[in-house]
């Protein structure tokens, strides 16, 4: 079997730098919130042109932190796609708020702005929930339609989260999702475009007060500068807890590894783009669809997803030739038992349902060679099912 994502090839490429970074952390021993954490946060924010970066334990907590900081909760509606990873809707009921599932655009798999407007109007008309926020997802690596989504959110007075766990590094007109949204979040799960050697996540934002509240929330609601200003304590304010938070920190070791991976990331994005171009050239006309990226956008190609009427037949055909594939996502969230009762936008989720039957992800990573890619392309073209 050829690898679906070749993390071993990446490690071989970066090994001296990563080994040295790990040794530096072992030498200073500050395993939790050591100096590499703030260093990495600064570099990550600079990379995407955000004022602030806040690391945390994983990409799921990264979406929960802004919701908690905004005190979104019971009675609030948070709009999100159903055609996404479970983490996107999962954090909404954590806060007491209600997810409202909105369908995706058929060409990009990202939130459909027209469907979002209709869903917000329907929730307002019903009057049971207060529209509070939107979580857009940069599915498979490309930015959602942020100019339109941001305009809708501004008009309607909603917060906008860019769940960029798959899309970190993508741009629209040269700008990263955080430029358009109140916050962008990402995941450093090893298989993501920018992955660590374990779990990790981050929130990016230009909003300093929000950043400070999230900094408090990720460490048990600890007192931060805004809480202690002008007050005098006869004990260590470290043990003052100002809000109900969580424990969600990025390990120093992971931050040290990520500093090295971030340095290599621009070249990897270019390599992923070259691989995507080669797939498109080889596969156009040989399946129902190759990926479409919206005008002005660049994708980081977390996945290279094609559509095929006999998706399962094609997957079996490829597997028999030693080519792994994956289906993201076979069961949209509104079809999953714990989520089935949550409301949907008007007209339901026909595009999400249809895409679940058609999509197939091919091997995609920065170390994919043209030779292996041509083997994959030939195998897809050789399927007549």
Ligand X SMILES: *Cc1c(COP(=O)(O)O)cnc(C)c1O
Q: Which residues bind to ligand X, rule: CB under 6 A?
A: 58-60, 84-85, 87-88, 137, 163, 165-166, 187, 189, 199, 201
**Min. distance of Cβ 62 from ligand X in angstroms?**
7
**Min. distance of Cβ 38 from ligand X in angstroms?**
20
Whichever of 25 and 250 has its CB closer to ligand X, that residue is 250
The CA–CA distances, whole Å, from 365 to 84, 169, 350, 356 equal: 20, 14, 31, 23
What is the distance between the alpha carbons of residues 156 and 188, in angstroms, rounded to a whole number? 32
Q: What is the number of H-type helices and E-type strands within the chain?
A: 12, 11
Pairing of strands 52-56, 297-298: unpaired
**Min. distance of Cβ 89 from ligand X in angstroms?**
10
- 3-class SS of residue 323: coil
**Min. distance of Cβ 51 from ligand X in angstroms?**
23
Whichever of 59 and 99 has its CB closer to ligand X, that residue is 59
40 DSSP assignment: H
- Sheet containing strand 183-187, strands side by side: 52-56, 201-205, 183-187, 159-163, 130-137, 76-81, 98-102
Whichever of 64 and 269 has its CB closer to ligand X, that residue is 64
Whichever of 84 and 95 has its CB closer to ligand X, that residue is 84
**Min. distance of Cβ 165 from ligand X in angstroms?**
3
**Min. distance of Cβ 384 from ligand X in angstroms?**
33
- From the CB of residue 372, how many other CB atoms can be counted at a distance below 10 Å? 16
For residues 307 and 150, the answer to whether their CB atoms sit within 8 Å is: no
What is the distance between the alpha carbons of residues 242 and 78, in angstroms, rounded to a whole number? 25
Whichever of 65 and 276 has its CB closer to ligand X, that residue is 65
Tokens of 66: 């802004």
| Residue whose CB is nearest to ligand X in the complex, by number | 59
Whichever of 21 and 110 has its CB closer to ligand X, that residue is 110
């Amino acid at each position: 079997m050829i690898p679906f994502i070749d993390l071993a090839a990446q490690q071989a490429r970066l090994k001296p730098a990563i080994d040295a970074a790990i040794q530096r952390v072992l030498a200073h021993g500050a395993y939790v919130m050591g100096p590499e954490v703030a260093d990495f946060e600064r570099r990550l924010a600079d990379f995407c042109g955000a004022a602030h970066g806040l690391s945390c334990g994983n990409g799921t907590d990264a979406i929960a932190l802004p919701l908690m900081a905004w005190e979104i909760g019971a009675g609030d509606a948070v709009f999100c796609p159903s055609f996404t990873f479970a983490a996107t809707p999962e954090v909404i009921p954590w806060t007491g708020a209600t997810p409202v599932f909105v369908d995706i655009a058929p060409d990009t798999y990202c939130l459909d702005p027209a469907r979002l407007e209709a869903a917000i109007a329907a929730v307002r008309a019903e009057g049971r929930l207060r529209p509070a926020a939107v979580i857009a997802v940069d599915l498979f690596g490309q930015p959602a339609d942020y100019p339109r989504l941001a305009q809708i959110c501004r008009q309607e007075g909603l917060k906008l989260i860019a769940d960029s766990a798959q899309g970190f590094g993508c741009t629209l007109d040269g700008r990263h999702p955080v430029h358009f949204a109140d916050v962008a979040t990402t995941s450093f799960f090893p298989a993501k475009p920018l992955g660590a050697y374990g779990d990790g996540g981050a929130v990016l934002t230009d909003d300093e007060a929000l950043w400070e509240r999230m900094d408090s929330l990720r460490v048990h609601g600890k007192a931060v500068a805004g809480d202690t200003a002008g007050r005098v304590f006869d004990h260590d304010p470290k043990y003052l807890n100002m809000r109900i938070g969580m424990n969600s920190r990025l390990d120093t070791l992971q931050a040290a590894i990520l500093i090295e991976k971030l340095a290599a990331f621009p070249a990897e994005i270019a390599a992923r783009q070259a691989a995507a171009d080669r797939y498109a050239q080889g596969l156009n006309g040989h399946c129902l669809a190759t990926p479409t990226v919206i005008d002005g956008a660049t994708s980081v190609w977390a996945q290279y997803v094609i559509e095929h009427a006999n998706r399962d037949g094609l997957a079996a055909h490829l597997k028999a030739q030693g080519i792994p594939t994956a289906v993201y996502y076979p069961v949209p969230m509104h079809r999953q038992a714990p989520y089935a009762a949550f409301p949907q936008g008007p007209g339901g989720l026909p595009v999400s349902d249809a895409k679940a039957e058609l999509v197939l992800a091919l091997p995609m990573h920065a170390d994919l060679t043209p030779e292996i890619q041509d083997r994959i392309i030939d195998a897809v073209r050789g399927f007549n099912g």
